[in-house]
């Protein structure tokens, strides 16, 4: 398929563990976004890349959250020393340049025990 | 107070009914308005996109934006059980690329 893919789809971590979530955007999409969706809530913005440049990281909740996109395609969201409050669905979206339309992946469901 | 307010529902309607979903917002800088549909355990899927005020129709779906009232709506005509999902409104200003979402309204269309 040509959509946004994310892996793993589900991740269970023990409190204090580090996790890495992967996003493969639609081929050719220069803009990439990460959102966090808590249960029963709408997605909340975490960070935005244009190619390899991280242009906005204002939504990252703490310095335990780190995102990268070193070659301007695949992106990884890393959460260090996970806490129970990090349990959520992490959504990745991509868009073509400055176009408004963002296409979302299926999300990674993270559960921290 | 959140920038975007949306009634979480749930909203239950019989098949064939007209559904009205809406959001209010406080940031007058919002210029782009979207409706996403999210099925359980799936990512959001874009349904409708409107720039500034006005109406937009696509099949059974109509989106309305009233910037003077800071109020947007999505109407679904002849609702089907397959329309059962969470509907999220989303907005952005021209100065940023990030979307601001409502909490989502859970819709159930009963056959």
Q: What percent of chain B has pLDDT over 90?
A: 88
- Tell me the per-residue pLDDT of A85-103, one tens digit each, with 9 for 90 and over: 999 999 999 998 767 789 9
Query: Residues B62-89: what's their mean pLDDT?
Result: 96
In chain A, the residue whose alpha carbon lies closest to the alpha carbon of B40 is A106
pLDDT of residue B46: 94
Residues 12-41 of B with CB under 8 A from A: 32, 34, 36, 41
Question: Which residues, including other chains, have CB under 8 Å from residue B72's CB and lie 6 or more apart?
Answer: B22, B23, B24, B25, B33, B50, B63, B64, B65, B66, B89, B91
Tokens linked to A95: 């868009």
Three-class DSSP category at B105: strand
A35 contact residues in B (CB cutoff 8 A): 99
Residue B92: CB atoms within 10 Å: 20
- Mean pLDDT (chain B) is 94
With CA atoms as reference, report the closest residue to A29 among A93, A90, A77: A93
> B59 CB near a chain A CB, below 8 Å?
no
- Tell me the per-residue pLDDT of A43-101, one tens digit each, with 9 for 90 and over: 999 999 999 999 999 999 999 999 999 999 999 999 999 999 999 999 999 998 767 78
B99 contact residues in A (CB cutoff 8 A): 33, 35, 43, 45, 102
C-alpha–C-alpha distance, residues A82 and B23, integer Å = 33
């Amino acid at each position: 398929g040509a959509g946004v893919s994310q892996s793993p789809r589900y991740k269970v971590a023990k409190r204090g563990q580090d996790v890495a979530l992967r996003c493969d955007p639609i081929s050719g999409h220069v803009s990439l976004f990460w959102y966090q969706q808590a249960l029963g809530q709408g997605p909340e913005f975490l960070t935005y890349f244009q190619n390899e440049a991280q242009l906005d990281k204002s939504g990252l909740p703490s310095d335990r959250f780190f995102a990268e996109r070193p070659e301007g395609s695949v992106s990884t969201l890393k959460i260090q020393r996970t806490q129970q409050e990090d349990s959520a669905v992490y959504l990745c979206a991509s868009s073509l340049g400055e176009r408004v339309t963002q296409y979302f992946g299926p999300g990674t469901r993270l559960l921290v025990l | 107070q959140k920038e975007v307010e949306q009634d979480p529902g749930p909203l239950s309607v019989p098949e064939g009914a007209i559904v009205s979903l809406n959001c209010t917002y406080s940031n007058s800088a919002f210029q782009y308005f979207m409706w996403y549909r999210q099925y359980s355990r799936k990512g959001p899927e874009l349904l409708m996109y409107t720039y500034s005020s006005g109406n937009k129709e696509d099949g059974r779906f109509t989106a309305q934006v009233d910037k003077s009232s800071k109020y947007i709506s999505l109407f679904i005509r002849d609702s089907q059980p397959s329309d059962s999902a969470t509907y999220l409104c989303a907005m952005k200003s021209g100065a940023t690329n990030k979307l601001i979402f409502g909490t989502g309204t859970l819709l159930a269309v009963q056959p």
